[in-house]
């Protein structure tokens, strides 16, 4: 019963965030100094042309009605039009979103698959495992994505010539080729993320291992392996999941750089191109999509944390 209440509360909060975020995305474009239409058309545009484009985009209407018609469009699945190519944005997004989702999803999966076990090892192992993981954490966190990406291209495409440096093949067309093209971008993002996940896991597990209930578990004769994986990791779970959720946001930001670097046709690159072309409906939809992913991931994160730690679901801790 209380679990259901918790889920309903969290979903309600996510819907509120989506609503607030849609207002923010809508306003940012319009509050930026300068008229977007004049910026798009250039300084030699005639007043007539400016007025025509403003009317075409609905910018001559009051803000509130602009916002209402935009939101109403979103609910119908009509995201507006690309003002350069005049293609419907919903189609564009449908092409671009899977690329970004695949990139972010694979990177985070890889980061968790390596970061969590190594973090547990670092928390429970001897001094050598601590030193090794510490080195990896420092490197992984401090190396910037764009430099790491270039170095990986240099090694795997330039010297070893085993992976393509740039380009993209849709998964549906050829799954194997798709993964070959995704390997370097995914690795670029995953290494830094794995370092964060490792550090969080190590800290959380060390913290839990010092708590009194671990002494009681030992006094009951529970095996060290079970204490570590059954109890310590479960208790560390909420911290790890929370950090993973937050890092998905960082990852989506990193995706903009990595997609540009590796010429992947994802949402990040869509936004960058949109900004360069002053194609503001595209920017608006791209930012909206990325922010929506982040809010949905945060919601899922909260629900998992509530499931892992019953105190959270009972509203005892936030």
Partner 1 sequence: MTAMLSLERLSVSFAGEAGPSIVVDDVSLTLEKGEIFGLVGESGSGKSTIANAVMGLLPASATTSGRIQLNGRETTGLDENDLRNLRGREMSMVFQDATTSLDPTWSVGEQIAETLRAHQSLSRGAARARTMSLMHEVGIPNAAQRYRDPPHRFSGGQRQRIVIAAAIANEPKLLIADEPTTALDVTIQAQILELINGLRHQHGTSVLLITHDLGVVSETCDRVAVMHRGRILETGPTRDVFGNPSHPYTRALMAANPAWSRRGSRLPVVPREWSIEEVRHD
Of residues 275, 292, 277, 269, the one with CA closest to residue 32: 275
Part of the chain binding partner 1 (CB under 8 A), chosen from 71-79, 81-89, 230-238, 286-294:
230-238
With CB under 8 A as the contact rule, the residue among 219, 225, 276, 318 that binds partner 1 is 219
**Residue number, 55 or 234, with CB nearest to partner 1:** 234
**Residue number, 55 or 211, with CB nearest to partner 1:** 211
Asked if 213 contacts 256 with a C-beta cutoff of 8 angstroms, the reply is no
Token pair for residue 253?
Answer: 């930001």
Binding of residue 55 to partner 1 (CB under 8 A): no
Distance of closest approach, residue 114 Cβ to partner 1, in angstroms: 24
With CB under 8 A as the contact rule, the residue among 231, 249, 250, 296 that binds partner 1 is 231
Asked if 57 contacts 36 with a C-beta cutoff of 8 angstroms, the reply is no
**CA-to-CA dists, residue 59 to 37, 50, 275, 289, angstroms:** 9, 10, 18, 22
Token pair for residue 203?
Answer: 């800290």
Asked if 238 contacts 309 with a C-beta cutoff of 8 angstroms, the reply is yes
CB atoms under 10 Å from CB of 5, counted, come to 12
Binding of residue 315 to partner 1 (CB under 8 A): no
Binding mask 168-207 for partner 1 (x = CB under 8 A): ----------------------------------------
Site for partner 1 in 232-251 (CB under 8 A): 234-235, 237
| Residues contacting partner 1: total by CB under 8 A | 24
Binding of residue 213 to partner 1 (CB under 8 A): yes
Asked if 309 contacts 13 with a C-beta cutoff of 8 angstroms, the reply is no
Binding of residue 125 to partner 1 (CB under 8 A): no
Binding of residue 147 to partner 1 (CB under 8 A): no
With CB under 8 A as the contact rule, the residue among 3, 210, 216, 275 that binds partner 1 is 216
Of residues 169, 175, 127, the one with CA closest to residue 262: 169
Of residues 300, 261, 274, 302, the one with CA closest to residue 103: 261
How far apart CA 281 and CA 256 sit, in angstroms, is 18
Binding of residue 311 to partner 1 (CB under 8 A): yes
Binding of residue 86 to partner 1 (CB under 8 A): no
Angle (CA) 152-153-155 rounded to 5° is 65
Distance of closest approach, residue 106 Cβ to partner 1, in angstroms: 29
Site for partner 1 in 279-308 (CB under 8 A): 308
Interacting residues with partner 1 (CB under 8 A): 211-213, 215-223, 226, 230-231, 234-235, 237, 308-311, 314, 316
């Amino acid at each position: 019963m209380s679990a259901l209440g918790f889920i309903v509360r969290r979903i309600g909060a996510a819907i509120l965030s989506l609503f607030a975020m849609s207002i923010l995305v809508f306003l940012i474009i319009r509050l930026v100094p300068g008229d977007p239409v004049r910026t798009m058309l250039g300084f030699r545009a005639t007043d007539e042309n400016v007025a025509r484009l403003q009317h075409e985009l609905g910018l001559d209407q009051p803000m509130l009605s602009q916002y209402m018609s935009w939101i109403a469009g979103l609910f119908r699945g009509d995201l507006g039009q690309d003002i350069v190519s005049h293609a419907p944005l919903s189609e564009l997004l449908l092409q671009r979103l899977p690329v970004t989702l695949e990139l972010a999803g694979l990177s985070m999966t890889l980061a968790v698959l390596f970061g969590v076990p190594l973090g547990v090892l670092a928390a429970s192992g001897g001094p050598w495992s601590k030193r090794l993981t510490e080195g990896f954490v420092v490197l992984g966190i401090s190396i910037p994505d764009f430099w790491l990406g270039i170095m990986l291209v240099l090694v795997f495409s330039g010297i070893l010539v085993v992976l393509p440096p740039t380009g993209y093949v849709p998964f549906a067309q050829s799954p194997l080729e798709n993964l070959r093209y995704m390997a370097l971008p995914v690795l670029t993002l995953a290494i830094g993320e794995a370092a964060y996940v490792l550090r969080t896991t190590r800290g959380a597990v060390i913290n839990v291992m010092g708590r009194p209930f671990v002494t009681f578990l030992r006094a009951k004769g529970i095996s060290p392996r079970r204490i570590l994986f059954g109890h310590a990791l479960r208790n560390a779970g909420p911290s790890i999941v929370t950090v993973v959720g937050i890092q998905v946001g960082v990852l989506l930001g990193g995706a903009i750089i990595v997609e540009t670097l590796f010429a992947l046709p994802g949402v990040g690159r869509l936004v960058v191109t949109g900004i360069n072309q002053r194609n503001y409906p595209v920017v608006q939809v791209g930012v909206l999509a990325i922010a929506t992913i982040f809010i949905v991931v945060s919601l899922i994160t909260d629900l998992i944390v509530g499931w892992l730690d019953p105190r959270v679901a009972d509203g005892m801790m936030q």
